[in-house]
Structure 1
Amino acid sequence: MSEIKHSFVRTNGINMHVAETGEGFPVVFCHGFPEMWYSWRHQMEALAEARFRAIAPDQRGYGETEAPAPIEAYTQRKLVGDIVGMLDALGIGKCVIVGHDWGGMVAWNTALMARDRVERVIGINTPFIPRSPVKPTDAMRAMAAGGFHYILYFQTPGVAEAELERDVARSLRGFYQDPPEIDPTEIRKSVPGVFGPAGGGLLDRFSDRPHGKFLTDEDFDVFVRAFKRSGFRGGLNWYRCIDRNWEESAGQTDRIEQPALMITAERDVVLRPEMAEGMKTWVPNLRKTVLIKGSGHWTQQEKPAEVNAAILDFLSDLKK
């Protein structure tokens, strides 16, 4: 494996931990919840071998990057500012930006808010979604119809933290599971984000099984150590800004001009492949959509060869 270099940069008022490897056109990887830079280890190695400069930060609130206390410190504007400041600190003018889960939101929003810094954009599981006419939490309450919606559960400060930090390994085992062994068409029949009737916590809905086969025990321990150190508050605060993001995006364009690639996962129960349908309306230069068969939510770790192949094909003409 290529050597990973670690550094800290000052960006947007915080110290950010950055992992990177390789030389060539810079490709920035943005992780989701609950993850960290290490989620991109397979892609970083493949990109470095293909003569790209692979860069994966621990984003605000995660890993060894600072976690400011105020909830409002985690808006998309702040998170995009972190990426732009990181590029400045690293002496990078333009990059390709790749994002998965919440990192996908950062990638698309960086392409919108800092157009001159993004050459191309890649979404993994997270499609570009135009601004809703309705406040997000209001839409989720209507969707949940009285059931348990995990994002609504995350809204009250301290509640999810107490549950998830009680036993970090148990919590991460609940998240890091292999995809459900059901027909993918059955996934469409459930309501995204809604897990059963109201009451109780999130882990009540996750069986305590061994972590998914896409992680070795050593990989899993990397995540456990990181979240024992950082806790979950920073990552949860991203969810608590969803209405703020909606308010701040009023009047913002809903059009991504850069060349784009969308990678979807057949068995992701929340970020479903059909969510990317019609995306070309807002992303006119969407060059390709790739469906990763058999993958659940943790796509870049579950199916690294397929994800790497799609990324490298999309970026083949950017090699130096």
Structure 2
Amino acid sequence: MSAIEQQTIQVNGIQLSLHIAGPESGPPVWLLHGFPECWHSWRQQIPVLAAAGYRVFVPEMRGYGRSSAPAEIADYDLLTLCADIQGAMDLFGHQRVAMVGHDWGAVVAWHLALLEPARISALVTLSVPFAGRSRRPVIEIMRELYAERFNYIMYFQQPGVAEQELEADIERTLRLFMQDQDVFLQQKPPTASLLGGVALPGALPAWCSQHDLEIYVQTFANGFRGPLNWYRNFERNWQRTEFLAGRQVLQPTLFLIGDRDPVGVFEAHTLKRMPEVVPQLEQHVLANCGHWIQVEQGAQVNTLLLAFLQR
């Protein structure tokens, strides 16, 4: 990999850890990771973007790794997460950036595009689509849909419950998430645990070395509370984003998803409606690919990403 500099900055009331690569004069590109991931999830994109002349900024998002992990659930609402990145862009003097996000990072990226229509000139989102503000909080809908069966987002709602399970063996937890994405689609009683009864696969996937895994594990050494608190703000997010209702994402936008991604099942309706809200949308479905798209199909993601940014 090209030389990567780690910085910790004070922004929006927290310490935000950033990994930066590429020429100082290069156009800025931000890479926002999701759950349960870390800045190292972009390891295949950072050197390629830097070599192409971009200045790459990869934060450890609020609650992760060396960044601050406030205790309160409300400290992880969507506008606060966006404000972390907005404040960092202010600090670095960014006037025009390309914003790239995966999973929860994609949710933040979508909303940054709405909040910053002038400063964010291009948008790339991976795995999580967007079709505007829902008519009521998503968590209300999910409570109705999953009253009689298990859903991992509902399981994450009660503070302390998921933390106890996921933190019991962090390496096992992360390996199961990486290698058995069907855990998110399990058919079982609503009171079940997420990973109970799921067998640990043998070898790591080809895209994750033991060294890579150790970086992921270190990210969660302080626990899962902060990252899980992102999931506990659906109602607050809906309330606080009312002023964005009806807005379109007008930036040129690239959307990528794997053909085996469980999100494609959960968000089928959103995927269908997305072009109505994102008029300048280019989208691709990557074959033989699950949810961890930027590492599972890194070369293809890089090709599509570079071509899009250069256009």
Question: Contact 1:31–1:59 at 8 Å: present in 2 too?
Answer: yes
Q: Which residue of 2 aligns with 1:6?
A: 6
Q: Select which of 141, 144, 155 maps to 1:142.
A: 144
Q: Which residue of 2 aligns with 1:72?
A: 74
Q: Report sequence identity in percent.
A: 39
Question: Contact 1:22–1:51 at 8 Å: present in 2 too?
Answer: yes
Q: Select which of 293, 302, 311 maps to 1:308.
A: 302
Question: Contact 1:147–1:194 at 8 Å: present in 2 too?
Answer: no
Q: Select which of 288, 296, 300 maps to 2:290.
A: 296
Instruction: Give the 3 Å change call, closer, same or farther, for CA 27–140 of structure 1 in structure 2.
Output: same
Question: Contact 2:257–2:291 at 8 Å: present in 1 too?
Answer: no
Structure 1 residue 195: Cα displacement: 4.0
Structure 1 residue 44: Cα displacement: 0.7
Structure 2: state its 5+ residue gaps.
none
Pairing of 1:90-109 with structure 2 (within 5 A): 90-109=92-111
* Matching of residue 278 in structure 1 with residue 273 in structure 2: yes
What is the CA–CA distance in structure 1 between the aligned matches of 2:240 and 2:264, rounded to whole Å? 23
What is the CA–CA distance in structure 1 between the aligned matches of 2:112 and 2:68, rounded to whole Å? 20
Instruction: Give the 3 Å change call, closer, same or farther, for CA 43–80 of structure 1 in structure 2.
Output: same
What is the CA–CA distance in structure 1 between the aligned matches of 2:119 and 2:187, rounded to whole Å? 39
What is the CA–CA distance in structure 2 between the aligned matches of 1:242 and 1:57, rounded to whole Å? 23
What is the CA–CA distance in structure 2 between the aligned matches of 1:94 and 1:171, rounded to whole Å? 38
SS in 1 for 2:62: coil
Instruction: Give the 3 Å change call, closer, same or farther, for CA 193–152 of structure 1 in structure 2.
Output: farther
Question: Contact 1:22–1:47 at 8 Å: present in 2 too?
Answer: yes
Q: Which amino acid aligns with 1:159?
A: V
For residues 8-31 of structure 1, what are the alpha-carbon distances to aligned partners after superposition, in whole Å with 9 as ceiling and x for unaligned? 111111110000111211110010
Pairing of 1:15-94 with structure 2 (within 5 A): 15-23=15-23, 24-94=26-96
- The normalised TM-score by structure 1 is 0.91
Q: Which residue of 2 aligns with 1:185?
A: none
Instruction: Give the 3 Å change call, closer, same or farther, for CA 141–205 of structure 1 in structure 2.
Output: farther
For residues 270-305 of structure 1, what are the alpha-carbon distances to aligned partners after superposition, in whole Å with 9 as ceiling and x for unaligned? 24484422311101111x111111110100011100
Q: Which moved more, 1:89-98 or 1:55-64?
A: 89-98
Q: Select which of 202, 205, 209 maps to 1:212.
A: 205
Question: Contact 1:97–1:120 at 8 Å: present in 2 too?
Answer: yes
Structure 1: state its 5+ residue gaps.
181-189
Q: Which amino acid aligns with 2:297?
A: K
Q: Which amino acid aligns with 2:144?
A: A
Instruction: Give the 3 Å change call, closer, same or farther, for CA 145–37 of structure 1 in structure 2.
Output: same
Q: Which amino acid aligns with 1:12?
A: N
Structure 1 residue 5: Cα displacement: 0.8
What is the CA–CA distance in structure 2 between the aligned matches of 1:309 and 1:195, rounded to whole Å? 37
SS in 1 for 2:81: helix
Instruction: Give the 3 Å change call, closer, same or farther, for CA 225–48 of structure 1 in structure 2.
Output: same
SS in 2 for 1:10: strand
What is the CA–CA distance in structure 2 between the aligned matches of 1:271 and 1:16, rounded to whole Å? 31
- The normalised TM-score by structure 2 is 0.93
